[in-house]
């Protein structure tokens, strides 16, 4: 893949891969179990919608990506209407480059994966300044698949409501029941309502939703 490039181009390309690989490895290995306070507090966008398309490619700098387009039903955080497209690191599968080499830089284990047509709720970090890539908060923890009236992330919601403290006066009965979920799917209407209220009411900023002591 580098054989036809000039020396400077080769070094530039190599530096890109090294920097990207280091940042990806760091993100993957340092991910800890997050709860709802973390997901809401660290997200720039929170979107509820349907996956319209999933494609992959390699950008002009040689960085492999998966591109996801969401048909947005509701932006729980952020001013997004219609559709939203973002790219995260990694190909969907290894790609033959046509010169005898194969690019093996696929989406790392533990990252969010997407299927066309699935309903989902995404807690998204802001885009990376240099690469423009964007991923979900806590990787697979910040992407929820909605199925059979339930919402569940790729960690089966383990720890989602653990050590979460919310002023009881803010909660209706369905939100209170949702907070009792220790693992497995949570009622999607209750979950969306809880997140919507937390964002609109600035619960974290006001200390009304916080990590339990």
List the pLDDT tens digit at each of the 213 positions of the chain: 333 444 444 444 444 554 454 445 445 444 689 999 999 999 999 999 999 999 999 998 889 999 999 999 999 999 999 999 999 999 999 888 888 888 888 999 999 999 999 999 999 999 999 899 999 999 999 999 999 999 999 999 999 999 999 998 999 999 999 999 999 999 999 999 999 999 999 999 999 999 997
Instruction: Determine the pLDDT at residue 11.
Output: 45
Whole-number pLDDT of residue 43: 97
Rg for the chain, CA atoms, rounded: 19
**pTM score, whole prediction:** 0.85
Locate the domains of the chain by residue range: 7-211
Q: Identify the residue whose tokens are 């480059």.
A: 97
Give pLDDT, residue 10: 45
Measured between alpha carbons, how far is 20 from 109 in angstroms, rounded to an integer? Answer: 16
In this predicted structure, what is the pLDDT of residue 98?
82
pLDDT attached to residue 39 = 98
Round to whole Å and give the CA distance between 70 and 59: 20
pLDDT at 22: 46
d(CA 177, CA 173): 6
């Amino acid at each position: 893949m580098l054989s036809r490039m000039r020396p400077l181009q080769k070094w530039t390309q190599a530096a890109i891969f090294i920097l990207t690989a280091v940042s990806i490895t760091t993100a993957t290995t340092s991910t800890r179990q997050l709860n709802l306070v973390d997901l809401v507090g660290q997200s720039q966008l929170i979107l509820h919608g349907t996956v319209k398309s999933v494609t992959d490619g390699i950008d002009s700098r040689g960085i492999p990506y998966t591109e996801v387009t969401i048909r947005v039903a509701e932006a729980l955080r952020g001013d997004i209407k219609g559709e939203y497209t973002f790219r995260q690191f990694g190909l969907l599968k290894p790609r033959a480059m046509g010169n005898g080499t194969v690019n093996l830089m696929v989406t790392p284990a533990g990252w969010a994966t997407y299927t066309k047509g699935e309903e989902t709720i995404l807690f998204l970090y802001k885009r990376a300044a240099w690469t423009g890539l964007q991923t979900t908060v806590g990787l697979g923890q910040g992407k929820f698949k909605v199925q059979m009236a339930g919402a569940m992330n790729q960690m089966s919601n383990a720890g989602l409501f653990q050590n979460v403290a919310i002023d009881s006066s803010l909660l209706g009965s369905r939100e209170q029941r949702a907070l009792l979920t220790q693992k497995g799917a949570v009622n999607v209407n209750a979950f969306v309502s809880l997140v919507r209220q937390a964002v609109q009411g600035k619960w974290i900023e006001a200390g009304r939703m916080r990590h339990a002591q």
